[in-house]
Amino acid sequence: MNILVCDDDKEIVDAIEIYLLPEGYQVFKAYDGIQAIAILKKEEIHLLLIDVMMPRMDGIRATLKIREQYNIPIIILSAKTEDTDKVVGLNVGADDYIAKPFNSLELVARVKSQLRRYTKLGTICAKEENNIYQTGGLMINDDTKQVTVDGEEVQKLTPMQYNVLLFLLKNKGRVFSIEQIYEHIWNEDAVNVDNTVAVHIRHIREKIEINPKDPQYLKVVWGVGYKVEDIPPR
C-alpha cells in the first residue's frame, strides 16, 4: 500500500519512511500541502500522514481540499497537544491525530489500524456478502459502500464516519456510550475521547439529516450515549 507523508521537516519525513518501509509500505514524500495534493492527483495513495504547520499550504487547509475529492484515511501530525487543536483536525475531515513527538510503534500501529478499516470499507477490497442495513429512509449497502437517504446518495463520508454510522445502524435502537463507540471503532482504550466521537457524530448528522440540530436518525440519549433510531422502512 502507498502512504503519503507530508511535513516541512525533512528529517521527520525521512524518519517516518524508515518506520514504514520495513512494514512493506511504499512511501511518497511531500513538504507542504500543495505538493501533497499534486502527488494525490498522480499516484494511488491509500493513507495520508500530514503535519499541521507548514509553509504555502498548511495541513488544515490541505485536508479540507483533499476531502473534497478523496476519502482515504488522514492522520494529522502536530506538535500541538491542546484538545482544541485535535478537534480542529477532526473537524476538517481527519480520521486520527498523533501529537509530536510520537512513538514509532504507536505511529505504525495507528497507520495499520486506519488501513485495516479502509480495507474493510471495501475501498480496496470488496466484500462478497450482500449486506444492506436500513432504518426509515436511511440505507447502507455495505457491499458497494453506498449510503443513501430517501434514495439520494450521501456524499463524502470519511472512512471513520462510515464505520461509526454502520456500527450504529447495524445495532439500530441500541444505545452505545461514547467509550463503547470509540473502543469498537478505534480498537483502543477510550481515554478522554468525548470530543473525538462527538466531532464525528456531528459531521455524520450534517451529511444524513435534513436538520442536524433536530436529528431523525442519529440521536443522543443524554447522559448515556448515541443511537440510530429504529424506524420502519419507507
User: What are the boundaries of each domain within the chain?
Assistant: 2-120, 132-228
The C-alpha cell at 99 is: 501529537
Q: Are the C-beta atoms of residues 85 and 42 closer than 8 Å to each other?
A: no
pLDDT at residue 130 in the model: 60
| Average pLDDT for 151-171 | 90
For position 168, what pLDDT does the model report? 95
Place 125 in a pLDDT band, splitting at 50, 70 and 90: very low
What CA–CA distance (Å, rounded) separates 122 from 141?
11
* Confidence category of residue 122, pLDDT binned at 50, 70, 90: low
Domain 132-228 maps to which CATH number in 1.10.287.70, 1.10.10.10, 3.40.1280.10, 3.40.50.720? 1.10.10.10
Which cell goes with 228? 440510530
Give percent above pLDDT 90 in the chain. Answer: 49
Beta strand extents in the chain (DSSP E only): 2-6, 26-30, 47-51, 74-78, 96-99, 132-135, 138-141, 146-149, 152-153, 218-221, 225-228
Residues 58-94 as b or e (16 or more Cβ within 10 Å = b): bbbebbebbbeebbbbbbbbbebeeeebbebbbbbbb
> What average pLDDT does range 108-123 have in this prediction?
78
Tell me the three cell numbers of residue 115: 488501513
CATH architecture of 2-120: 3-Layer(aba) Sandwich (3.40)
Supply the pTM of this predicted model.
0.61
Most confident of 23-37, 49-63, 65-79, 171-185: 23-37
pLDDT higher than threshold 70 for residue 124? no
- In angstroms, the Cα distances linking 138 to 39, 59, 83, 122 are 35, 33, 32, 20
